Amino acid sequence: MTVDPNGPAPRSAGDPDAYPVLTVLMLMLGGFVLPFVGWLAGVVMLWTGRAWTVGEKWLGTLVWPAVVIVPASAPVFGVLIGPAGAPAWTIGVGLVLAAVAVLVVLPWTFVRLLRAGRR
């Protein structure tokens, strides 16, 4: 066995090890950069990849819509339930849910899928 004095070769975009990273980036950020189209590209990459289980594929597929829909639905439910317009607390709940989703749920999913993709 010979040792390369220059160290390991840098990874290129065509490298199979880069595929999980690109897939997870598309899933987590693609929907914000290119609404819907970026997320959809990430979902296609996720489901065609072999690195993830079916449960992880569903997690990756549903997390971005949940991050967008759940916080946005809190004021809508407040309007439907409340007497004349959304009570102020429903808007606050929506903002808190949005912050938790973006700061906790997305990074946790990102790390989980990335670790699973590198197995």
Per-residue pLDDT of the chain (119 residues; tens, 9 = 90+): 555 566 555 544 445 678 888 999 998 888 888 888 999 999 999 999 988 999 999 999 998 888 877 777 766 766 666 666 556 676 777 778 778 888 888 889 889 999 988 77
Contacts of 115 (CB under 8 A, 6+ apart): none
Structure tokens at 40: 């959809």
- What is the model's pLDDT at position 11? 46
| Residue at token pair 């700061």 | 103
Q: The whole model's pTM is what?
A: 0.69
The size of the chain, in residues, is 119
- What is the model's pLDDT at position 69? 79
- What is the model's pLDDT at position 17? 75
Cα(47)–Cα(69) distance, integer angstroms: 22
Cα(106)–Cα(102) distance, integer angstroms: 5
- What is the model's pLDDT at position 72? 73
Structure tokens at 55: 């449960």
Cα(8)–Cα(109) distance, integer angstroms: 29
- What is the model's pLDDT at position 40? 93
Contacts of 61 (CB under 8 A, 6+ apart): 43, 46, 47
Cα(5)–Cα(2) distance, integer angstroms: 9
- What is the model's pLDDT at position 8? 52
- What is the model's pLDDT at position 7? 53
